[in-house]
Structure 1
Amino acid sequence: MAMSGNLPPRPSGPACRAERAHAVVAEPRLGAGPEAVAVDPAGRRAYVACSRDNAVVAVDLDRRVPVWRADVGREPIPVVLDLPSRRLFTADARSDTVTVLDADTAARVAQIPVGKDAYPAGLGHDPERRRIFCGNTAAGTITAIDADRLAVIGTIPAELGAGSIAVDGRRGRGYCANFMSASLTVFDTESLRPLERIAVGEGPCKVVVNPVADQLYVAGSLHGTVQRLSLATGRPLDEVRVERAPVGMCVAPDGSRFYVCNRGAGTVSVIDAVGGTETHRITVGNGPGDCQIDAASGRLLVSNAGSGTLTMVDRPWLPGAERPPTHAAVGRKLPEFALPDARTGEVRTTREWAEKRYLINFFASW
């Protein structure tokens, strides 16, 4: 029976176009230097380590507001949520500790030393084997912690710059990014034995596992690339170019794509995990440090170290509206400013270089 006359009109107009694009739905302010994010989709909470506030902030994912703040050690960079125990773990870089919090009450449960002058800057989690792994950047080691007893159970040798750690739970293998050694340390998460060294590009800053695609991703912050490796063989597959200083990543629950935080550009690159191509970019806050997906809503949560905010993006798998081809500052008059000469101390002004070409270098300590 023909029913073409009764079909509803096809959606069109601005509202329809908006539904085919990602959208920033909220950007709550958290504090100074938010870095890593952990998500509890069922409990409707996100937990963010604010490195410059020495605190963890819990955010209600539905009301999109902070609900509590808890003090931890100095400069917490990563945060891990262990769902079976309902505990949060932070690596406190300048306190040489791992702080443990109750995820529901914010109460401090323990503070575990990982070694003098270790500068712990990365965490890995093996929930099946009940282990937390801490990458000690200055010491070049990995501290293994029993997630239930909250006790150190071993130390694994890595290399200088040991930090971000990803775990392949199926094979019982951990991968530690050694930033200053341009390498990955592969270790057995059960026996705590180092297995092999994989050479990667300079400045590996973050590693994540895609268990669905059976791939490992390594963000190279110095050259703006992400290297894809096979988890089965450890061999490189290809290299994806992204924007400036990629430092954080996460994988979609279905494994079809992964998201890369470009700290130097204020964007997130969305990468097709099958083809290894960038499909689009999402504009977020300043200095995005890390990201996670809220599996219940599908939203992307991005911690912005430079803005002190958490960007919440709806439908992140979709491209957005077209952006202007040039930066908003192009064509605008340069504001006048004065700075002391680094060599002589004499105050120099922009007027001295009027109508001339010159380079301004802004140095970032991170």
Structure 2
Amino acid sequence: MKLLLRSAVLASLLAAPLLHAQNAPRATLLALSKQDRTLAVIDPSTLKVIAKMPVGSDPHEVIASNDGRTAYVSNYGFGAFHTLAVVDLVNHKALSPVDLGPLAGPHGLAWAGGRVWFTAEKAKSIGRYDPSSKRIDWILGTGQNRTHMVWVSQDMQRIVTTNVNSGTVTIAEPVALPKPPAALPGEPMPKSDWDETVVKVGNGSEGFDVSPDTKEIWVANAKDGTISVLSFAEKKVVATLQANVPGANRLKFTPDGKYVLVSSLQKGELTVLDAATRKVVKRIPMGHGAAGIVVQPDGARAYIACTPDNDIAVLDLHTWQIVGHINAGAGPDGMTWTVRQ
């Protein structure tokens, strides 16, 4: 009898993670708490926190793998730290962090080609981590101050970064190298390099997004309170919008490309612009400050991290009304949306 009881208990313990994974919602919101140093997994249907996991010192941004099974978090510290925290989203547990070595100050994150792309502010670089080989397999210097946020096309042929203290945007694209001379036996020869175009925008260029049709890059300039609109093809500023967004932190397009959302830590509001007319159409109060923004893929809602108020506001994008609040921990900021495969 005791043997049967022990077997039953053991079987239930082994089955618990599987049952938990089966019952968990496929689509979830991931939100960081900078003060609690945790990553919260949130059910968007109930706005309730399902689980919290530790993610190390000063977590700022989070990204998830395409299968929704693993999350990566940048431990920033303005250059004091050099790790990416790793979280198992199926079993809700922290895994061993990735040591980035001299690539200190990781901040912006992107997922493309099965790899994690990250900025390293102190190293003035962009790096790439391959989870399959567990190594950093690519680095590109920007030569700009505070290379902060990053966007990478899914074909990995275009990269965009904002460089806060330089007030610039870097656009990087691969270029073929001329046929090299004969190499020594066993010596690999590169076939391509990266061409970088540095575009001067406004002061404090930080939050940015690429339009869904990839024709434009919109950049929020926190110190100037302006928004720079760049033509991706021409690699130049085509408009500077006097949007009155001092302290702008993040900027996001809605999935249909019709609207642009800009958060401000200084003004404590969310500014909404019409992307076609490039005019401000709404300013929505957000307490004492707004930071990270995530828009649901279906365009129904946006989630805005109100960092000073320890709150995540839920905005209905059809009515432009706040319809809920989420307590994900103190000092919420970086967020991402993930769907588990």
TM-score with structure 1 setting the length? 0.70
- Answer whether contact 2:214 2:232 (CA < 8 A) is retained: no
User: In structure 2, what residue type is equivalent to 1:91?
Assistant: T
User: Which segments of 5 or more consecutive residues in structure 1 lack a partner in the other structure?
Assistant: 1-17, 298-366
Q: Of the candidates 156, 169, 181, which is equivalent to residue 212 of structure 2?
A: 169
RMSD of aligned residue pairs (Cα, Å)? 2.3
Q: Distance in 1 between matches of 2:278 and 2:298?
A: 22
1:270–1:104 CA distance, 2 compared to 1 (3 A): farther
Who is 2:147 aligned against?
A: 120
- Answer whether contact 1:110 1:150 (CA < 8 A) is retained: no
Who is 2:128 aligned against?
A: 100
- Answer whether contact 1:141 1:162 (CA < 8 A) is retained: yes
* 2:84 partner SS: strand
Q: Distance in 2 between matches of 1:286 and 1:105?
A: 35
1:267–1:19 CA distance, 2 compared to 1 (3 A): closer
User: In structure 2, what residue type is equivalent to 1:163?
Assistant: E
Q: Deviation above 4 Å: which 4+ runs of structure 1?
A: 147-150
- Answer whether contact 1:213 1:255 (CA < 8 A) is retained: no
How big is the shift at 1:133? 0.8
User: Which segments of 5 or more consecutive residues in structure 2 lack a partner in the other structure?
Assistant: 1-42, 176-191
How big is the shift at 1:291? 0.7
Who is 1:327 aligned against?
A: none
Aligned residues: 277
Who is 1:46 aligned against?
A: 71
Residue 205 (str. 1) matches residue 249 (str. 2)? yes
How big is the shift at 1:49? 0.9
Residue 131 (str. 1) matches residue 158 (str. 2)? yes
1:285–1:188 CA distance, 2 compared to 1 (3 A): same
Residue 276 (str. 1) matches residue 332 (str. 2)? no
1:163–1:253 CA distance, 2 compared to 1 (3 A): same
Residue by residue over 1:44-101, the C-alpha shift from the partner in whole angstroms, topping out at 9 and shown as x without a partner, is: 121111113321122221111223422332221211111xx22222122222111211
User: In structure 1, what residue type is equivalent to 2:55?
Assistant: L
Q: Distance in 1 between matches of 2:69 and 2:193?
A: 26
User: In structure 2, what residue type is equivalent to 1:234?
Assistant: R
1:231–1:20 CA distance, 2 compared to 1 (3 A): closer
- Answer whether contact 1:248 1:260 (CA < 8 A) is retained: yes
Residue 243 (str. 1) matches residue 287 (str. 2)? yes
User: In structure 2, what residue type is equivalent to 1:173?
Assistant: E
1:45–1:95 CA distance, 2 compared to 1 (3 A): same
- Structure with max Cα Rg: 1
Q: Distance in 2 between matches of 1:20 and 1:142?
A: 37
Q: Distance in 1 between matches of 2:323 and 2:74?
A: 29
How big is the shift at 1:142? 0.8
1:150–1:102 CA distance, 2 compared to 1 (3 A): farther
How big is the shift at 1:41? 4.0
Q: Distance in 2 between matches of 1:65 and 1:252?
A: 25
User: In structure 2, what residue type is equivalent to 1:113?
Assistant: G
How big is the shift at 1:277? 1.3
Residue 160 (str. 1) matches residue 203 (str. 2)? yes
Identity %: 18
Q: Of the candidates 213, 224, 231, which is equivalent to residue 188 of structure 1?
A: 231
1:19–1:292 CA distance, 2 compared to 1 (3 A): closer
Q: Distance in 1 between matches of 2:156 and 2:146?
A: 25
How big is the shift at 1:141? 0.8
Q: Distance in 2 between matches of 1:115 and 1:22?
A: 42
Residue 145 (str. 1) matches residue 172 (str. 2)? yes
- Answer whether contact 2:211 2:257 (CA < 8 A) is retained: no
